[in-house]
Amino acid sequence: MSFFRKSRLITTAVALMVGASLFAGCGGSGKDAEAPKAAAELQGTVTASGSTALLPLLKPAQEEFQKKHAKVTVNIAGGGSFTGMNQVASGAVNIGNSDVDLPAEYKDKGLVDHKVAVAPFVFITNTDVTVDNLTQQQYVDVMSGKITNWKEVGGKDQKITLIHRAKSSGSRATIADIVMKDTPFTDNAVIQDSNGALRAAIASTPGAIGYVDAPYADNTVKKLAYNGVQYNPQALIDGKYPVYAYEHMYTKGEATGAVKAFIDYVMSKEFQESYVEKNGFLPITKVKK
């Protein structure tokens, strides 16, 4: 075989090998492009406790989030705002739900605040009460025990029974801050551990009065006006109705994984626009504090 012919054969063989290699490489790349790398599916358990005022909002959030993420379980309990902050600070839960800003004694606990909604509060009475409105001072006088009969505020001759929340409640802290100011509550009161229990107690107790997160104020009780203003969303937005609180979801350190995903969902435009107002709350973007 001539030298030139042998050279041509070697060159051809090399070219075929390189071409086959390139073809195989291109084929592999195409296959990878057709099957993109799947993202890791979100999974785990999210635990939250605290504010019962926030429960009417977090229950639908829990249901919708679990539909989107079948491998995530979200467990939500009440117990009161300060209970929620205590439990998240100790690491007992992932999220501490609260109606109150972080108190000074929690400032060094490494808690991160996520404001998720605005919760209006309303004063409610048993349906047999004939009074429709109280001024702020009258509310103070009733809850401090100075006024004990409805006839003292224009109603019928009937004993006033105050039913409200324990000291661990953010609802109680909100009323103390906005309404009571520096006046202490009377000890002559019936204490309930949740908004739902408080509403039920008022509905079944003649002459009773108390306060609940607005979503709990149904037709089993009577809603009172505050300084002549009956609660409605626009009255709050316009600054005419002052009895409300920001709802917080506190985490110990920055949220990660399923916990972060759940909080992000609650704060998402999708959830805020579809569920917040429908469940009796207001998006934080609508209220200027």
CB distance 155 to 206 below 8 Å: no
Structural domain includes residue 198: yes
Do residues 182 and 259 both lie within one domain?
no
Could you tell me the two tokens for 35? Answer: 């099957």
pLDDT confidence band for 232 (50 / 70 / 90): very high
Structural domain includes residue 264: yes
Do residues 49 and 85 both lie within one domain?
yes
More confident residue, 29 or 229: 229
Buried b / exposed e across 192-216, counting CB within 10 Å, b at 16+? bbbbbebbbbbbebebbbbbbbbbb
Beta strand pairing status for 222-223 and 161-165?
A: unpaired
Nearest one of 42, 45, 114, 50 to 74, comparing CA atoms: 45
The enclosing domain of 204 has a CATH number of 3.40.190.10
Say what the pTM is: 0.80
Buried b / exposed e across 74-94, counting CB within 10 Å, b at 16+? bebebbbbbbbbbbbbeeebb
Do residues 162 and 180 both lie within one domain?
yes
The parent domain of residue 257 ranges over 44-118+246-279
pLDDT tens, position by position, 69-95: 999 999 999 999 999 999 999 999 999
pLDDT on residue 289: 64
pLDDT on residue 11: 44
pLDDT at 159 exceeding the cut of 60: yes
Do residues 113 and 126 both lie within one domain?
no
Do residues 60 and 110 both lie within one domain?
yes
pLDDT on residue 6: 43
Listed in sequence order, the residues at least 6 apart from 254 whose beta carbon sits closer than 8 Å to its beta carbon are 112, 260
Determine phi and psi for 188, rounding to 5 degrees.
-85, 70
Nearest one of 98, 92, 120, 248 to 169, comparing CA atoms: 98
pLDDT confidence band for 134 (50 / 70 / 90): very high
Do residues 230 and 133 both lie within one domain?
yes
Structural domain includes residue 129: yes
Give the pLDDT mean for 4-13: 43
Q: What share of the chain is helix, strand, coil (3-state, %, to 5)?
A: 45, 20, 35
Nearest one of 221, 245, 224, 244 to 139, comparing CA atoms: 224
CB distance 246 to 263 below 8 Å: no
Do residues 185 and 230 both lie within one domain?
yes
Structural domain includes residue 97: yes
Do residues 171 and 252 both lie within one domain?
no
Do residues 48 and 70 both lie within one domain?
yes
Structural domain includes residue 288: no
How much is the mean pLDDT over the chain? 88
Distance CA 4, CA 92 (A): 83
Counting Cβ atoms within 10 Å, is residue 277 exposed (0-12), middle (13-18) or buried (19+)?
A: middle
Do residues 128 and 233 both lie within one domain?
yes
Nearest one of 103, 72, 73 to 89, comparing CA atoms: 103
Give the pLDDT mean for 261-268: 97
pLDDT on residue 41: 84
Residue 187 C-alpha from the chain's centroid: 30
Do residues 195 and 109 both lie within one domain?
no
Domain count, the chain: 2
Structural domain includes residue 6: no
More confident residue, 151 or 34: 151
Structural domain includes residue 255: yes
Do residues 196 and 267 both lie within one domain?
no
Listed in sequence order, the residues at least 6 apart from 39 whose beta carbon sits closer than 8 Å to its beta carbon are none
